[in-house]
């Protein structure tokens, strides 16, 4: 089977970072025929450059991280923000090992800010690309960040049990949160972003976030 690039990007519990891992894996004829190596697939050691692009919810311009790689080691790295400003971020990387594994992108690295901040809730498009001397491979997918909304729901339920949140508000948050989980399961980024906006409005109004 042909080589298939892949990744996993879970959000950390503090809402301020995600961990990027290249999950392509090593070639195995029986269990992973699309992985690195094998008769026709590239070795990870032959990758000379890579980009990871993050599109935050409803944005058409991405934050682009470009990496220069030699023998599985990242030797240079830049970040280009949504306005086209490029800076070197090699010294800020959590690791210089390739393939990426539990590679933390926190708010300072993503946004170029000094302090930690929550990442935006909603559907993020993430595009991952690698290049060898003769080939280019890419994979794009959706990553759903709902950490702040989840906190809102939890705090709403606590507030309701203590008598600090109206029953109608608690029901509204709970039903919309269930719809959000369904939209994530259906891989529907438009619905996810719409429901996130509704929940953000409710949470701001009832002061549960």
The pTM score is 0.92
Predicted pLDDT at 98: 98
pLDDT in the model for residue 38: 84
Q: Is the peptide bond before 32 cis (omega within 30 degrees of 0)?
A: no
**What local confidence, expressed as pLDDT, does residue 205 receive?**
55
**Residue numbers in the chain where pLDDT is lower than 70:** 1, 204-209
* pLDDT value for 207: 52
In this prediction, residue 146 carries a pLDDT of 94
Burial per residue of 168-193, b for 16 or more beta-carbon CB atoms within 10 angstroms, e otherwise: ebbebbeebbebbeebbeeebbebbb
């Amino acid at each position: 089977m042909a080589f298939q690039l892949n990744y996993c990007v879970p959000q950390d519990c503090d809402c301020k970072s995600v961990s990027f891992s290249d999950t392509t894996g090593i070639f195995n004829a029986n269990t992973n025929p699309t992985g690195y190596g094998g008769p026709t697939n590239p070795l990870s050691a032959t990758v000379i450059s890579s980009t990871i692009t993050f599109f935050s919810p409803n944005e058409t311009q991405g934050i682009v991280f470009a990496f220069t790689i030699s023998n599985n080691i990242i030797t240079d790295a830049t970040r280009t923000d949504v306005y086209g400003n490029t800076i070197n971020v090699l010294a800020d990387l959590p690791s210089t090992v390739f393939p990426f594994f539990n590679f933390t992108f926190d708010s300072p690295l993503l946004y170029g800010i000094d302090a930690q901040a929550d990442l935006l809730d909603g559907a993020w498009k993430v595009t991952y690309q690698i290049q060898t001397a003769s080939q280019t491979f890419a994979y794009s997918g959706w990553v759903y960040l709902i950490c702040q909304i989840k906190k809102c729901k939890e705090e709403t339920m606590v507030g309701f049990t203590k008598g600090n949140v109206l029953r109608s508000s608690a029901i509204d948050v709970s039903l919309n949160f269930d719809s959000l989980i369904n939209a994530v399961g259906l891989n529907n980024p438009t619905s996810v972003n719409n429901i996130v906006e509704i929940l953000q409005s409710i949470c701001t109004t009832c002061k549960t976030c």
